Structure 1
Amino acid sequence: MNSMCAKTAVSRRIKQLVLGCSLIGLAWQVSAQTQVQDAWVRATVAGQPSTGAFMTLQADSDSKLLSVQSPAAKTVEIHQSTMKDDVMSMRQVESVALPSGKPVSFDPHGYHIMLIDLTAQVQEGSKVPLTLIVENAKGEKETIEVQADARALGMADHSKMH
């Protein structure tokens, strides 16, 4: 009887380990849905109220960037810059499509993240925390924490665009 109890206990332990490994694999799969590369924020000068954040996103399934948050700004919006009749304009967008397997660039001339009403000057060389919310086609949301590098001035100042 003791050997039967021991076999049952071993069997139960193996099942627990397999379940645990499966859950770890599932957690890894969820956290690896969207990759973020080369995240950076344009450094600011004292008193500058806003700046832009840029990066490349690539999702492993059809998804969309829904929102971005940061303690560095009171308001964070997803924007798109466009050129029409030699006039650059910028407008807020609700979300950005992330087609499966295709990198989507967030840069000063297209989609980008606006950090508005900055809580402090963004110093070159510092890190700016960003939280991205991405939703896949199944409606599953993913939260991605990013530490964006603050890079030197020299990019266009988006705070004065209309």
Structure 2
Amino acid sequence: MQYSYRALARTLSHCHPLSRLRSFEERLGIVTFTLTLLLAMTHPLWAHEFKVGDIEIVHPWSRATPEGAKVAAGYLVLKNHGETADRLVAATGELAGVTQVHEMAVDANGVMTMKQLADGLEIPAAGEVALKPGSFHIMFMDLKKPVRQGQSFRGTLTFEKAGTVEVEYSVDAMGGEHDEHAD
């Protein structure tokens, strides 16, 4: 039996590994799979979450401040994945002279009050606490510089059991609610 060059080339082309990628749908499927895999692998690089012990800190953020402001607030969600309660007992912010854990509440006369939580903020076992506008928050006082939209700043959170973790606060627009992460 004698093979012609063309017949041999045609036979070999069907064996080539890339010969399966003839249809647009197959190529699109490979590209989609590859991009999905890359996205999944790089998620930790752009995620804005931090963890220490059983505590997960979800998306710390703040609002921009006007020129000359001496205070700013920090917001985030604390998730306790442990079987025992923990407590946020201290915080720092690189742009503040003093940082405290605060609660904002309305008293019996309808007056809004803000006070430092001297004993810290409890995070229940297998539960979460949202630090958000009008509620619990981190208070940054004696600001060393304005907080600018689009920038970020570092700080730490210290928990009674889990220990201390460094976090980074993203800064949103002045006066706006952080829609994407406000729960």
TM-score when scaled to structure 1?
Answer: 0.71
Q: How many equivalent residue pairs? A: 123
Amino acid at match of 1:142: G
CA contact (8 A) 1:41 1:51 kept: yes
Instruction: Confirm whether residue 86 of structure 1 aligns to residue 110 of structure 2.
Output: yes
TM-score (norm 2): 0.63
Match of 1:116, as an amino acid? M
Say if 1:41 and 1:128, in contact at 8 Å, map to a contact too: no
Of 130, 139, 157, 1:132 maps to: 157
Partner of 1:59: 80
1:69 corresponds to 2:96: no
2:74 and 2:139 in contact (8 A); partners too:
yes
Which entry has the higher C-alpha Rg, 1 or 2? Answer: 2
Partner residue in 2 for 1:36: 57
Following superposition, the deviation at residue 31 of structure 1 comes to 3.4
Instruction: Write out the 4+ residue segments of structure 1 that deviate beyond 2 Å after TM superposition.
Output: none
State the match for 1:105 in structure 2.
130
Aligned equivalent of 2:142: 117
Secondary structure at the aligned position of 2:146 is classed as coil
Deviations 1:21-48 (A, max 9, x none): xxxxxxxxx9342101121011111101
**Residues 72 and 143 of structure 1: CA distance in aligned 2, closer, same or farther (over 3 Å):** same
Could you report, residue by residue, the CA deviation over 1:96-149 in whole angstroms, capped at 9, with x for unpaired residues?
Answer: 00101211010121110100011111000111212000112xxxx411111110
Tell me the residue number matched to 1:149.
170
Gaps of 5+ in 1: 1-29, 157-162
Is contact 2:87-2:160 (8 Å) kept?
Answer: yes
Aligned 8 A contact 2:53 2:163 in 1: no
Higher RCO structure (Cα 8 Å, ≥6 apart): 1
Q: Is the 8 A contact 2:60 2:75 kept in 1?
A: yes
Task: Give, in whole Å, the separation in 2 of the partners of 1:48 and 1:31.
Answer: 32
Q: Which of the pair is proportionally richer in strand?
A: 1
RMSD: 1.7
**What is the CA distance between 1:155 and its match in structure 2?**
4.9
